[in-house]
């Protein structure tokens, strides 16, 4: 008797524990611990394992200084060059673990932070409501600062003679790219090769300054037309099986078409059947083939370069749209300050993973 009730009791306990473990996640969960994003691994190819864009510049600053310390530890900095010192010592520097600072509500009060940041995001127009475009601009500014900071560090690493410029001989491609370059097949990857370097060199002086080097590392975000043209040429080179310098419909269909990512989903038919995929592909092909010669040239690919290589703006907008759907309680399409304050974890713990998919950190310590 006693034993069977013990069994029943144990089953109930296990059942409740399972329920708790698999309970639906609630974005509004109070007392959720804020986490810093993990250090990005700079040696992986671009576009893999993207981090979310930091919403709050204070948190971005903490992460940056933590990443810098880790970076200094893992790279040898010659003749006493150290990373540039941070601006005036911020408050969180006094904490052993900066994560404790952002979780110390008396010091880092998320409500106060939202009240403080709101007017900087709500600027066009400043009407007390945040639109997708306003939040996209905000996200973009945050991520551009982060990207430029990484470029600066990369520059220190590659600029062997410390003249503030990168020459092609100074530049060493990442390890994963070097392996592809050593491949003897005729379609060697063009990334990080001399042509890519030259395209980034706006003033043809054979050296890349910080802006040019940033374009070199992030061609899709470049405003330099030479870089965008190089990207288009590289797209052709990768798919051009018969090496005639342009893409036939088959060359475009087997690869390039599938890689196009757009908000007005050109692939919406493709799930239905093979035939309609081909119809959708043909429609886009004839739109792009502006001289109607039945082939796509480098210039004809320019309109879809942004869809083949999503820019930071693309991700900034995606993250803005996501945040607004999550926090827009009254469903008017805008964020009010009240909605943001009531849904702080949408902004403070969302972690971006690939392909429109967001997760919430749900660690409770």
Ligand X SMILES: *[C@@H]1O[C@H](CO)[C@@H](O)[C@H](O)[C@H]1NC(C)=O
Binding site for ligand X (CB under 6 A): 105-106, 109, 111-112, 184, 194-195, 198, 202-203, 206, 209-212
Is residue 122 close enough to count as binding Ca ion by CB under 5 A? no
Nearer to ligand X, 184 or 275 (CB): 184
Six token digits for residue 130: 């945040």
Nearer to ligand X, 105 or 359 (CB): 105
Q: β-strand 350-353 against 357-360: which pairing, if any?
A: antiparallel
Is residue 244 close enough to count as binding Ca ion by CB under 5 A? yes
Residue 103 Cβ vs ligand X, minimum distance, rounded to whole Å: 11
Backbone angles phi, psi at 164, to 5 degrees: 85, 5
Classify residue 182 as left (phi > 0), alpha (psi -120 to 50) or beta.
Answer: alpha
Task: Choose the contact partner of 120 out of ligand X, Ca ion, none; CB within 5 to 8 A by kind.
Answer: none
Is residue 215 close enough to count as binding Ca ion by CB under 5 A? no
Secondary structure letter of residue 296 according to DSSP:
B
199/208 Cα distance (integer angstroms): 10
- Which window, 138-146, 285-293, 321-329, 351-359, contacts Ca ion (CB under 5 A)? 321-329
Q: Angle of helix 132-158 relative to helix 110-121, nearest 10 degrees? A: 100
320/201 Cα distance (integer angstroms): 33
Residue 300 Cβ vs Ca ion, minimum distance, rounded to whole Å: 13
Nearer to Ca ion, 254 or 263 (CB): 254
Nearer to ligand X, 24 or 30 (CB): 30
Residue 141 Cβ vs ligand X, minimum distance, rounded to whole Å: 18
Alpha carbon separation from 92 to 54, 82, 88, 89, 145 (Å, rounded): 17, 21, 11, 8, 20
Nearer to Ca ion, 83 or 132 (CB): 132
Nearer to ligand X, 75 or 112 (CB): 112
Is residue 293 close enough to count as binding Ca ion by CB under 5 A? no
Residue 30 Cβ vs Ca ion, minimum distance, rounded to whole Å: 21
Task: Choose the contact partner of 210 out of Ca ion, ligand X, none; CB within 5 to 8 A by kind.
Answer: ligand X
Dihedral in degrees, nearest 10, Cα atoms 238, 49, 134, 59: -140
Residue 213 Cβ vs ligand X, minimum distance, rounded to whole Å: 9
| H or E, element range at 232 | helix 225-239
Is residue 127 close enough to count as binding Ca ion by CB under 5 A? no
- Which window, 85-93, 145-153, 313-321, 326-334, contacts Ca ion (CB under 5 A)? 326-334
C-beta neighbour count of 99 within 10 angstroms: 18
Secondary-structure breakdown of the chain: helix, strand, coil percentages, each rounded to the nearest 5: 55, 5, 40
Q: How many residues bind Ca ion (CB under 5 A)?
A: 7
Token look-up 């093979």 returns 274
Task: Choose the contact partner of 240 out of Ca ion, ligand X, none; CB within 5 to 8 A by kind.
Answer: Ca ion
Q: Where are the alpha helices (DSSP H) in the chain?
A: 2-22, 57-74, 98-102, 110-121, 132-158, 175-181, 194-200, 210-217, 225-239, 249-251, 257-259, 274-288, 298-301, 305-308, 312-327, 337-342, 344-348
Of the candidates 46, 40, 77, 44, which has an alpha carbon nearest to the alpha carbon of residue 157? 77
Is residue 332 close enough to count as binding Ca ion by CB under 5 A? yes
Token look-up 């405003």 returns 223
Nearer to Ca ion, 212 or 240 (CB): 240
Residue 111 Cβ vs ligand X, minimum distance, rounded to whole Å: 4
Tell me the residue number closest to ligand X, measured at CB. Answer: 105
Is residue 187 close enough to count as binding Ca ion by CB under 5 A? no
Query: 3-class DSSP state for residue 2?
Result: helix
Task: Choose the contact partner of 211 out of ligand X, Ca ion, none; CB within 5 to 8 A by kind.
Answer: ligand X
| H or E, element range at 208 | strand 207-208
Nearer to ligand X, 149 or 282 (CB): 149
Residue 156 Cβ vs ligand X, minimum distance, rounded to whole Å: 14
Task: Choose the contact partner of 194 out of ligand X, Ca ion, none; CB within 5 to 8 A by kind.
Answer: ligand X
Is residue 334 close enough to count as binding Ca ion by CB under 5 A? yes
* Residues engaged in binding Ca ion (CB under 5 A): 240, 242, 244, 328, 330, 332, 334
């Amino acid at each position: 008797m006693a034993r069977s009730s013990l069994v029943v009791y144990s089953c109930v306990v296990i059942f409740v524990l399972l329920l708790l473990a698999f309970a639906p996640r609630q974005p509004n969960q109070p007392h959720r611990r804020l986490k810093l994003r993990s250090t990005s691994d700079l040696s992986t190819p671009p576009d893999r394992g993207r981090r979310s864009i930091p919403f709050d510049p204070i948190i971005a600053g903490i992460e940056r200084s933590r990443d810098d310390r880790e970076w200094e530890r893992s790279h040898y900095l010659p003749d006493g060059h150290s990373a540039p010192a941070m601006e005036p010592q911020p408050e969180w520097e006094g904490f052993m673990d900066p994560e404790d600072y952002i979780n110390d509500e008396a010091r880092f009060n998320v409500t106060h932070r939202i009240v403080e940041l709101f007017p900087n995001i709500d600027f066009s127009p400043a009407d007390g409501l945040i639109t997708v475009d306003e939040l996209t601009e905000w996200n973009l500014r945050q991520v551009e600062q982060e990207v430029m900071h990484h470029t600066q560090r990369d520059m220190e690493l590659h600029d062997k003679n410390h003249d503030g410029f990168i020459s092609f001989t100074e530049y060493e491609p990442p390890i994963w790219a070097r392996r592809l370059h050593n491949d003897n097949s005729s379609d060697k990857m063009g990334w990080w090769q001399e042509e890519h370097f030259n395209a980034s060199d706006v003033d043809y002086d054979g050296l890349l300054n910080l802006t040019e080097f940033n374009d070199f590392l992030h061609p899709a975000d470049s405003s330099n037309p030479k870089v965008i043209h190089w990207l288009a040429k590289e797209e052709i080179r990768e798919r051009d099986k018969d090496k005639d310098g342009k893409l036939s419909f088959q060359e475009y269909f087997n690869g390039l078409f599938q890689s196009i990512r757009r908000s007005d989903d050109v692939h919406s038919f493709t799930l239905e059947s093979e035939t309609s995929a081909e119809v959708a592909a043909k429609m886009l092909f004839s739109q792009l083939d502006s001289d109607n010669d039945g082939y796509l040239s480098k210039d004809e690919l320019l309109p879809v370069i942004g869809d083949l290589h999503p820019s930071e703006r693309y991700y900034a907008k995606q993250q803005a749209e996501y945040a607004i759907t999550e926090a827009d309680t009254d469903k008017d399409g805008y964020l009010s300050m009240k909605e943001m304050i009531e849904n702080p974890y949408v902004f403070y713990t969302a972690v971006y993973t690939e392909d429109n998919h967001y997760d919430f950190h749900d660690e409770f310590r």
